[in-house]
């Protein structure tokens, strides 16, 4: 019996092997499994998911900096409204942008050339990957790029490992990269079997990029190509553009939302949450004393009467009446405005096509304001600044980017007094700081590395 | 002694054998818990029954404190060696020479009693309990030991000392009675979490709660439920610490004792899970003898320990108008332009409204607790069966917590060699929660103005949103239900006289079924949302122990070898519903949008354990242990960790040279220990790089979710402990004093990496953390007469927590943690969770502006800082430095106990000093008249004013917007001294009746609190801004939207049948 017990005890002590400690996760994937076409496609879908907060943050933050909005009850957004840009909020945008870039760059790090897929399938992958890189870097450069010193965010073309160290790129280097990327996207979309985005979305984004890079001939060419393609049409009623879920044929590229994606991840969720027409929830309403309001609040303009509402205290922006909708990233109206302005600048004069572009939007919003004659260049450019602000207000930060492009002044904060501060006064002040950790780890500085 | 006895004991019980040996020797035997204590008789009496030449005899029964017959009691004629021993049922019979003799009744663990016989022939006696502390059997990991032989630092707490009756969970009862154990209650919410730190926080990011082991089975502590069951994070409650605490499932009345293993030598037997200390809980066993039935119940009322001081309507309007004026506005425009008239409110309505929002969300709490236990057994089988119900309505309106539990403990001796047993606990919890902390409810009372009504005239909520405290509570349902099954089964086989084998299988099953609903009126998007969460956690633990105990002359040896395997799987399924067409629909299935999610993870441990306890003459003590732990949580190349420990003890009082002191100091022991323990509480897959899935337009997306580290390994804590144990004046004064030095290396840090990698943090071994301090425990019996006893005890711990290195020059300036406020960090040279703040230099009495000190020591006013730096945010970023300390330096308690005839009483004061908290919300509350409309604390009435000429350290109010800077202005000390427990009771016992005893008590909990915390803190006790118990070290120094705690008065009744 004792022997039996001793054998039993010995057996029990020695019965368990190291394999008892092998418990790989049943959920999620490890990097070594991301080797096929489906994985590359999934990475792209993942990146599109990751840019949802990135784009909506741009829109909200810039509206605050322009003081086009009143912030009712979100102290953290006062950073922008009060022109005290801290890393608390901007770090989120930096992180979400680079997170999406990291996902896209994983595709470039993998051996796509040797992946089992047709050339058209590979082209589709590359097209979306280049498109996303152009989109993300364009916005990063807009907010972190320092036009005075000429330095901007680091340029990463491959995933960054935790031990890698990088330095700031120059704004010219990054601008060039963005343009190369968007052209690469256009090239591959032409060869692609299909894509998440498409050729015209890339072309429209190219028009926007060139426009804000002040390469007006290219901006004109790309905008013109989109307009003349016949693929898209302006809505006759501007409010139809914003009818949920956002399938208007005026929209060239949208960041998608599908209810099965999960609540709380809608690309328009954050914007809707901010602007919703309620005095108790939501936190942004239009600053009736702001620059944009002065142009927008026109009772004869459908862009105001149809897309804004008010109560005794506030004027609400109602472009996003629900969070259950796509985020309209580029629409045809912008292409008309871009084509017109680019053409006027390139030609240094105004022609009938430019007037037609302006009138295309004025006729549907306020026919009485349609041009009946060809204005002077300066008149036309002033009109376009106003029309652009009215048309695209609170959508993607266009008012801020256009003000920056034109080096206009920005309304002062209460602490600074009345009037406007000049471009030279605000350009460095409103530059987004690098996250503290990035400075600590990489020693990032825009004053030259 | 070296005597041998011969005898044949075929089919005799141990009891019979011991009685026989006792009769042949001068030894007494006494069963204490699972052990038999052996002691020399106090006199050299021979314990054979005396056969007197006279025919007179006296008989009776000796009872214990519970009126149970007490076997093995020595009954001796005083001044002689004649006497007898009580039998199995406490009976004795003794022939006596005459009636003038005095009988002495004595038993180990009980007070002696002397009784003059007189003319009586029947004398029944009840002996009072008096377990000498040094003879107590202390439960160690995988075994037991007599306290006098212990060489490590272990504190034992029995049920009598456990003040858990009014805490959310049993571990709260440790507060103030075990030195070195810091206990912090997080909230008055029913069943909510309690933070426990043993000798400081030993980690930064890994779970720092001690390991809880119930009847030998390690238990997963933490929250039962998830607080973010679906949807955007803002849609839910963000109150992780408030979620139901797993440990609250254990009924405190079922606990026999708790042992707290504090030093590494004691905890190293738990290896990789012992770094935070270990709490061993032993539940009650039945005892052979008459079946005992105990019925108990208590009923209590409670209210908040403090009502925070907010402005009433009149005060608010005075201050708000003053702020409006100070900002250069015309007071005549106040009502129209200041923004206080919202949601259709008119000036007239506002002027006649005076809402006390605190009253709206607090109530008088009630708690009823009922227990029934039945225990007993035969010589071979003992059992303990209990059932309990707790029904609590807390001070937070809408919060209701119910617990139904039962326990069965059975032990059976099949034969002399083989015994078996089992423990089974079933608990059902139904917890209806209300939002607190970040989630709102009571924590949002400042969000509403006193000039705002709760409801409009039509009955709908005024200014309805998630921030409206009443609407936030009424329009949200949080119902957390859980079932827990905790069981273990063992068999023990005695292979040889000295060699035994025990195999034990334990299981822990936890099922939670949660329901959350938020009405569209309080969601950010206006749609109602709901979710159900079903979780399942299944763990098992199998250990096999071989024990060899042998004495060789004066050498005593106790060897232990064990293996243990443990596996734990968690699964979670949740269904989230968004948009309901009808207000009666609340289940996700009825929603327009339905999303489901699933989570699953598993971990396992494989361990080999060895320990040797050796002593020579009970005087020179040595213990050596070793544990090898493998865990699936670490990379394949770094799975195994090795945790050795050694401890030494020397009973100096047994040495000859000590004899001159021995009359005063009857026991004095020096202890030394050193050991390594580990921490593996980092989640299950941190070592792996993983890509998580997402959905884009109904297509599966991938994104990196974790960057792994193949080299990720154990966080290892070494601890040196030097201590003494002493007893003076025959136990009238006793105590322990320990000095310790704990160093945690290879900290599992949330190591900040470039966010351009796709993640912001990775888990990495880096850095060092120390905890140094001392524990003191002093007990005294001040008065001990037959009718009055007064005893006292004092516990004190001093602990200094310090991050000494972060292991990489790139983060020598510390790690900033994103906890919503952005200012809490880990810095070398400072405690974990220190605040990063700008130093506030007071209010400029000429201007009423706040002033601040930059890093060079220059003092700048608020406006100067903006002027010099461009913005205050930039000034703040440039001039922050580490300040404060979230961890108390001194903690402890003072307890006094009294017994006067049948009355008894006790009071316990607890205290904590040295800790500070930055109230991140105070900046908003002290600038409440800008865009955010808030009701500020009442001290704002004393803000600086140019007109009154008085000085004030509260800056001038104005109508500016809030900037969320962190400055030392809002860093507060929360030192406190609290009358934690005050009890008076009356206990009667009777024999021969159906009711053998009745105990009536009145208990007050948290009755008095003296604190340095400002009066706008609900309570000085809270657990910091990061609400998860698993990760609340980094954010421990920040307070944000706290919630109240309760003080209670409880009437208790115990009936023994």
Residue A402 has pLDDT above 90, yes or no: yes
Residues 513-532 of chain B with CB under 8 A from chain A are: 524-526, 529
Q: What is the pLDDT of residue B231?
A: 41
Shortest distance, CA B755 to any CA of chain A (angstroms): 6
Please tell me whether residue B818 adopts helix, strand or coil conformation. coil
Q: What is the pLDDT of residue B24?
A: 64
Distant-in-sequence contacts of A213-217, Cβ < 8 A, 24+ apart = A213/A175, A213/A178, A213/A179, A214/A405, A215/A179, A216/A341, A216/A342, A216/A343, A216/A345, A216/A346, A217/A342, A217/A346
> Which chain A residues contact residue B963 at CB under 8 A?
75, 78-79, 82, 84
pLDDT grade, residue B731 (50/70/90)? Answer: confident
> Which chain B residues contact residue A262 at CB under 8 A?
230-231, 576, 595, 597, 695
Query: Percent of chain A having pLDDT more than 70?
Result: 94
Q: Which fold has domain B14-131?
A: Immunoglobulin-like (2.60.40)
Contacts of B765 (CB under 8 A, 6+ apart): B709, B711, B712, B713, B715, B746, B747, B748, B749, B807
Mean pLDDT of B36-62: 59
Q: What is the pLDDT of residue B661?
A: 87
Q: Is A152 on the interface with B (CB under 8 A)?
A: no
Tell me the pairing of strands B381-393 and B768-784.
unpaired
- Residue B690: both structure tokens together: 């993983």
Q: What is the pLDDT of residue B129?
A: 72
Alpha-carbon distance of A115 to A104, in angstroms, equals 16
Give per-residue pLDDT as tens, B511-526.
988 888 889 888 877 8
Query: Percent of chain B having pLDDT more than 90?
Result: 38
Shortest distance, CA B873 to any CA of chain A (angstroms): 6
Answer yes or no: is A358 within a domain: yes
Residue B48 has pLDDT above 50, yes or no: no
Residue A425 has pLDDT above 50, yes or no: yes
Domain that holds residue A157: 37-257+327-441
Domain-wise residue ranges, chain B: 14-131, 134-282, 292-304+364-451+480-838+885-920+972-1051, 313-353+923-963, 841-879
Residue B986 has pLDDT above 90, yes or no: yes
Q: What is the pLDDT of residue B226?
A: 55
B1009, B1013, B1017, B1018: CA torsion to nearest 10:
-10
Residue B52 has pLDDT above 60, yes or no: no
Q: For residue A86, what are the CA distances in angstroms to A56, A61, B123, B508?
A: 18, 12, 85, 48
pLDDT grade, residue A129 (50/70/90)? Answer: very high
Answer yes or no: is A165 within a domain: yes
Enter the CATH code of domain B134-282: 2.170.130.10
Number of Cα atoms under 13 Å in the Cβ half of residue B1003: 23
Residue B81 has pLDDT above 90, yes or no: no
Alpha-carbon distance of B208 to B677, in angstroms, equals 13
Answer yes or no: is A12 within a domain: no
Shortest distance, CA A129 to any CA of chain B (angstroms): 14
Please tell me whether residue B77 adopts helix, strand or coil conformation. strand
**If you search the block for the tokens 């394949």, which residue do you land on?**
B636
pLDDT grade, residue B430 (50/70/90)? Answer: very high
Answer yes or no: is A142 within a domain: yes
Give per-residue pLDDT as tens, A5-23.
565 655 555 556 668 888 8
Judged by average pLDDT, the poorest of A88-97, B993-1002, B1030-1039 is B1030-1039
Q: Classify residue B786 as exposed, middle or buried by CB count within 10 Å of its CB (0-12, 13-18, 19+).
A: exposed
Q: What is the pLDDT of residue B5?
A: 60
Q: What is the pLDDT of residue B12?
A: 63
Q: Is A198 on the interface with B (CB under 8 A)?
A: no
Give per-residue pLDDT as tens, A168-227.
999 999 999 999 999 999 999 999 878 899 999 999 999 999 999 999 999 999 999 999
Mean pLDDT of B199-228: 77
Residue B71 has pLDDT above 70, yes or no: yes
Mean pLDDT of A59-86: 86
User: Are B14-131 and B292-304+364-451+480-838+885-920+972-1051 in the same CATH fold?
Assistant: no
Number of Cα atoms under 13 Å in the Cβ half of residue B988: 5
Mean pLDDT of B160-176: 71
- Residue B215: both structure tokens together: 């009847």
| Cβ within 8 Å, pair B689-A30 | yes
Residue B1027 has pLDDT above 50, yes or no: no
Task: Tell me which H or E stretch contains B803.
Answer: strand B788-805
ipTM metric: 0.92
Contacts of B556 (CB under 8 A, 6+ apart): B550, B613, B614, B615, B616, B618
In this complex, the residue of A21, A98, A256 whose CB is nearest that of residue B755 is A98
Residue A70 has pLDDT above 70, yes or no: yes
Answer yes or no: is A321 within a domain: no
- The CATH number for A246's domain is 1.25.40.390
Residue B675 has pLDDT above 90, yes or no: yes
Residues 198-257 of chain B with CB under 8 A from chain A are: 230-235
pLDDT grade, residue B35 (50/70/90)? Answer: low
Q: What is the pLDDT of residue B964?
A: 61
Q: Is A11 on the interface with B (CB under 8 A)?
A: no
Of residues B436 and A180, the one with the higher pLDDT is: A180
If one counts every other C-beta atom within 10 angstroms of the C-beta of residue B2, the result is: 5
Contacts of B519 (CB under 8 A, 6+ apart): B475, B476, B528, B583
- Out of B376-385, B628-637, B675-684, the most confident range is B376-385
**What's the total number of domains in chain A?**
1
Give per-residue pLDDT as tens, B498-557.
999 999 999 999 998 888 888 988 887 788 888 888 889 899 999 999 999 999 999 999
CA nearest neighbour of B748 among B826, B690, B827, B681: B681
Of residues B196 and A307, the one with the higher pLDDT is: A307
Residues 115-134 of chain A with CB under 8 A from chain B are: none
Answer yes or no: is A150 within a domain: yes
> Which chain A residues contact residue B565 at CB under 8 A?
16, 20
- Out of B365-369, B878-882, B1015-1019, the most confident range is B365-369
Average pLDDT value for chain B: 84
pLDDT grade, residue B241 (50/70/90)? Answer: very low
Q: What is the pLDDT of residue A260?
A: 73
Residue A319 has pLDDT above 70, yes or no: yes
Answer yes or no: is A29 within a domain: no
Pick the CATH number of B292-304+364-451+480-838+885-920+972-1051 from 2.40.170.20, 3.40.50.1110, 3.30.413.10, 3.40.50.920: 2.40.170.20
| Cβ within 8 Å, pair B697-A85 | no
| Alpha helices per DSSP H over A21-118 | 37-65, 78-81, 87-109
Residues B380-413, buried b or exposed e (16+ Cβ, 10 A)?
Answer: ebbbbbbbbbbbbbbbbbbbbbbbbbbbbbbbbb
Alpha-carbon distance of B409 to B404, in angstroms, equals 17
Judged by average pLDDT, the poorest of A309-313, A354-358, B66-70 is B66-70
Q: Is B277 left (phi over 0), alpha (psi -120 to 50) or beta?
A: left
């Amino acid at each position: 019996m004792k022997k039996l017990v001793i054998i039993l005890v010995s057996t029990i002590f020695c019965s368990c092997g190291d394999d008892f400690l092998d418990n790989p996760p049943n959920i999620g994937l490890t990097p070594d499994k991301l080797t096929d076409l489906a994985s590359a496609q999934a990475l792209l879908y993942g990146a599109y998911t990751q840019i949802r907060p990135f784009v909506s943050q741009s829109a909200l933050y810039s509206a605050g900096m322009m003081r086009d909005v009143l912030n009712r009850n979100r102290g953290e957004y006062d950073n922008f409204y009060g022109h005290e840009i801290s890393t608390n909020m901007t770090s989120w945008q930096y992180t979400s942008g680079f997170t999406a870039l990291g996902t896209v760059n994983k595709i470039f790090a993998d051996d796509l050339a040797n992946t089992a897929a047709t050339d058209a399938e590979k082209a589709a992958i590359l097209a979306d990957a280049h498109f996303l890189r152009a989109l993300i870097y364009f916005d990063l450069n807009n907010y972190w790029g320092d036009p005075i010193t000429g330095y901007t965010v680091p340029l990463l073309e491959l995933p960054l490992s935790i031990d890698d160290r990088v330095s700031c790129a120059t704004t010219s280097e990054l601008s060039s990269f963005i343009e190369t990327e968007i052209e690469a996207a256009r090239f591959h979309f032409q060869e692609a079997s299909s894509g998440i985005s498409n050729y015209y979305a890339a072309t429209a984004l190219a028009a926007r990029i060139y426009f804000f890079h002040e390469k007006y001939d290219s901006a004109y060419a790309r905008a013109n190509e989109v307009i003349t393609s016949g693929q898209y049409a302006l809505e006759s009623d501007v409010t139809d553009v914003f009818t949920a879920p956002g399938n208007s044929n005026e929209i060239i590229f949208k960041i998608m939302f599908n209810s099965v994606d999960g609540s709380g991840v809608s690309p328009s969720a954050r914007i809707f949450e901010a602007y919703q027409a309620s005095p108790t929830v939501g936190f942004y309403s239009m600053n009736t004393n702001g620059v944009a309001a002065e142009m927008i609040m026109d009772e004869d303009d459908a862009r105001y009467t149809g897309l804004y509402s008010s109560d005794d205290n506030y004027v609400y922006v109602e472009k996003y009446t629900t969070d259950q909708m796509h985020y309209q990233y580029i629409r045809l109206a912008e292409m008309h405005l871009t084509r017109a302005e680019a053409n006027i600048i390139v030609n240094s004069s105004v022609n009938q096509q430019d007037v037609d572009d302006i009138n295309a939007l004025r006729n549907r919003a306020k026919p009485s304001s349609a041009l009946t004659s060809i204005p002077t260049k300066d008149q036309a450019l002033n009109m376009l600044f106003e029309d652009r602000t009215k048309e695209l207000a609170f959508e993607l930060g266009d008012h801020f980017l256009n003000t920056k492009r034109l080096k206009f002044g920005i309304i002062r904060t209460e602490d600074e007094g009345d009037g406007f501060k000049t471009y030279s006064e605000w350009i460095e002040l409103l530059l987004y700081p690098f996250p503290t950790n990035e400075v600590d780890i990489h020693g990032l500085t825009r004053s030259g590395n | 002694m070296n005597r041998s006895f011969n005898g044949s004991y075929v089919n005799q019980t141990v009891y019979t054998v011991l009685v026989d040996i006792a009769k042949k020797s001068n030894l007494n035997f006494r069963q204490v818990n699972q052990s038999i204590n052996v002691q020399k008789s106090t006199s050299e009496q021979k314990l054979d029954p005396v056969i007197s030449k006279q025919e007179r005899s006296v008989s009776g029964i000796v009872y214990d404190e519970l009126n149970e017959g007490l076997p093995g009691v020595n009954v001796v004629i005083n001044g002689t060696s004649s006497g007898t021993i009580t039998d199995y049922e406490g009976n004795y019979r003794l022939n006596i020479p005459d009636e003038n003799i005095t009988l002495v009744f004595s038993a180990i663990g009980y007070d002696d009693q002397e009784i003059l016989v007189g003319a009586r022939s029947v004398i029944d006696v009840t002996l009072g309990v008096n377990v000498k502390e040094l003879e107590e059997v202390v439960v160690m990991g995988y075994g037991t030991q007599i306290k006098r032989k212990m060489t490590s630092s272990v504190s034992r707490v029995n049920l009598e000392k456990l003040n858990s009756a009014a805490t959310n969970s049993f571990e709260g009862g440790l507060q103030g009675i075990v030195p070195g154990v810091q206990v912090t209650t997080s909230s008055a919410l029913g069943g909510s979490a309690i933070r426990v730190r043993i000798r400081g926080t030993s980690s930064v990011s890994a779970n720092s709660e001690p390991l809880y082991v119930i009847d030998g089975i390690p238990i997963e502590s933490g929250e039962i439920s998830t607080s973010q069951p679906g949807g955007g994070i803002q849609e839910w409650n963000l109150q992780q610490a408030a979620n139901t605490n797993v440990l609250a499932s254990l009924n405190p009345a079922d606990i026999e004792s708790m042992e707290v293993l504090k030093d590494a030598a004691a905890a190293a037997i738990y290896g990789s899970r012992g770094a935070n200390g270990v709490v061993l809980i032993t539940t009650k066993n039945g005892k052979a003898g008459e079946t005992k039935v105990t019925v108990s119940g208590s009923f209590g009322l409670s209210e908040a320990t403090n009502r925070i001081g907010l402005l009433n309507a009149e005060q608010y309007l005075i201050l708000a108008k003053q702020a409006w004026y100070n900002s250069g506005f015309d007071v005549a425009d106040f009502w129209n332009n200041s923004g206080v008239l919202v949601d259709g409110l008119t000036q007239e309505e506002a002027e006649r409204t005076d809402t006390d929002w605190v009253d709206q969300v607090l109530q008088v709490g009630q708690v009823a607790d009922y227990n029934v236990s039945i225990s007993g057994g035969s010589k071979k089988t003992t059992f303990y069966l209990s059932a309990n119900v707790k029904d609590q309505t807390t001070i937070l309106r809408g919060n209701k917590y119910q617990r139904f539990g039962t326990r069965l403990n059975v032990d059976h001796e099949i034969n002399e060699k083989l015994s078996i047993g089992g423990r089974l606990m079933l608990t059902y919890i139904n917890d209806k929660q209300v939002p607190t902390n970040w989630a709102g409810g009571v924590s949002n009372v400042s969000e509403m103005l006193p000039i705002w009504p709760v409801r409009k005239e039509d009955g709908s909520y005024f200014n309805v949103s998630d921030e409206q405290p009443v609407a936030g509570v009424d329009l949200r349902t949080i119902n957390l239900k859980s079932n827990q099954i905790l069981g273990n089964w063992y068999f023990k086989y005695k292979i040889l006289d000295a060699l035994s084998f025990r195999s034990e299988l334990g299981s822990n099953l936890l099922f939670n079924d949660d329901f959350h609903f938020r009405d569209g009126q309080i969601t950010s998007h206006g749609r109602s949302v709901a979710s159900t969460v079903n979780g399942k956690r299944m763990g098992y633990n199998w250990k096999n122990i071989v024990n060899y105990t042998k004495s060789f002359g004066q050498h005593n040896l106790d060897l232990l070898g064990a293996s243990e395997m443990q596996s734990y799987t968690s699964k979670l399924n949740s269904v989230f519903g968004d948009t309901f067409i009808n207000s009666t629909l609340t289940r996700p299935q009825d929603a327009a949008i339905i999303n489901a999610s699933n989570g699953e993870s598993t971990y396992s441990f494989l361990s080999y354990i060895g320990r040797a306890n050796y002593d020579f003459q009970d005087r020179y003590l040595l213990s050596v242990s070793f544990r090898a732990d493998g865990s699936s949580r670490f990379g394949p190349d770094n799975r195994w960790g090795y945790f050795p420990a050694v401890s030494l003890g020397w009973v100096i009082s047994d040495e000859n040279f000590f004899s001159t002191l021995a009359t005063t100091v009857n026991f004095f022991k020096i202890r030394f220990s050193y050991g390594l323990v580990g921490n593996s509480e980092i989640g299950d897959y941190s070592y792996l790089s993983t890509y998580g899935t997402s959905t884009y337009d109904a297509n599966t997306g991938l994104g990196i979710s974790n960057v792994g580290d193949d080299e990720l390994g154990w966080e290892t804590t070494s601890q040196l402990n030097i201590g003494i144990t002493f007893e003076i004046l025959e136990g009238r004064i006793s105590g322990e004093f320990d000095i310790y030095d704990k160093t945690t290396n290879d900290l599992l840090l949330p190591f900040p990496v470039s966010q351009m990698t796709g993640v912001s943090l990775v888990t990495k071994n880096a850095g060092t953390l120390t905890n140094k301090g001392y524990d003191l425990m002093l007990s005294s019996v001040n008065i001990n007469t037959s009718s009055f006893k007064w005893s006292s005890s004092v516990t004190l711990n001093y602990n200094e927590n310090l991050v000494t290195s972060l292991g990489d020059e790139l983060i020598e300036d510390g790690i900033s943690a994103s906890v919503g406020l952005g200012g809490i960090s880990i810095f070398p040279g400072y405690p974990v969770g220190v605040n990063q703040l700008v130093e506030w230099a007071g209010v400029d009495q000429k201007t009423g502006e706040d002033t601040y000190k930059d890093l060079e020591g220059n003092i700048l006013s608020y406006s100067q800082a903006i002027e010099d730096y461009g913005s205050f945010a930039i000034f703040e970023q440039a001039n922050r430095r580490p300040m404060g300390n979230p961890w108390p330096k001194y903690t402890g308690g003072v307890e006094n106990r009294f017994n006067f005839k049948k009355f008894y009483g006790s009071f316990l004061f607890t205290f904590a000093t040295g800790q500070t908290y930055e109230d991140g919300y105070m900046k908003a509350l002290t600038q409440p008249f800008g865009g955010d409309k808030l009701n500020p604390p009442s001290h704002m009435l004393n803000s600086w004013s140019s007109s009154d000429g008085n000085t004030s350290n509260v800056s001038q109010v104005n109508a500016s917007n809030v900037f969320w800077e962190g400055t030392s202005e809002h860093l507060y000390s929360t030192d406190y001294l609290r009358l934690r427990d005050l009890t008076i009771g009356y206990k009667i016992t009777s024999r021969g009746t159906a009711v053998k005893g009745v105990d009536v008590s009145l208990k007050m909990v948290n009755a008095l609190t003296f604190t340095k915390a400002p009066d706008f803190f609900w309570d000085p006790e809270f657990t910091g801004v990061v609400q998860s118990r698993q990760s609340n070290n980094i954010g421990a120094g920040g307070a944000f939207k706290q919630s109240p705690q309760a003080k209670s008065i409880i009437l208790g009744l115990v009936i023994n049948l």
